Amino acid sequence: MSVNVIKEIKSLNTCLVRHLFANKNVIQGKRPKPLQVEIIDYLSKNQDKIIYQRDLEENLQISKAAISEVLISMEKNGFIEKINDEDDGRKKRVILTQDTIKMHNKVIKELRKLNNNLLDGISEEDLNIFIKVINKLKENMKKEGI
């Protein structure tokens, strides 16, 4: 078979990213980079918990140096705030700014809409086959140690 699966996945990803960022109403101003998006998503899903830099390192499997650098950038760009912990002044909690929470909510809403549009005209049977193929690709990647 001569299909370049990697190229097709990359092409689809590029289309999705372009669509999402083309809508100026969704993300205004400074746009977060992919790792920053991952951190924003994690913090958003865990707003009810106290999150420190170490939690991000462990849960997102990012080195201390890398997470430190990205958090400095995120704070500078107004995506997060670091606030002193009430119990331990040496620790800083990492929280999303109100603007970032609003942006994340808009992105989630846009992604749901995009997902529905992507599935338009695709039968449940075809969708199940697609999911089965995606899962097999992931399984094959695990075999390769990726």
Determine the pLDDT at residue 119.
94
Determine the pLDDT at residue 31.
79
Question: For 132-145, what is the mean pLDDT?
Answer: 91
120 lies in a domain? Answer: no
Q: What's the mean per-residue pLDDT of the chain?
A: 89
Which band of pLDDT confidence, cut at 50, 70 and 90, is reported for residue 17?
A: confident
Instruction: Please give the residue that has the higher pLDDT: either 17 or 133.
Output: 133
Look up residue 88 and give its DSSP letter: -
Q: Structural domain tally of the chain?
A: 1
Q: Which domain holds residue 89?
A: 30-110
131 lies in a domain? Answer: no
69 lies in a domain? Answer: yes
146 lies in a domain? Answer: no
98 lies in a domain? Answer: yes
What phi, psi does 119 have (nearest 5°)? -85, -5
pLDDT above 70 for 97: yes
79 lies in a domain? Answer: yes
Contact 31, 22 (CB under 8 A): no
123 lies in a domain? Answer: no
34 lies in a domain? Answer: yes
pLDDT above 80 for 24: no
Q: Output the domain CATH number for residue 65.
A: 1.10.10.10
Q: How far apart are CA 21 and CA 16, in angstroms?
A: 9
Question: For 82-106, what is the mean pLDDT?
Answer: 91
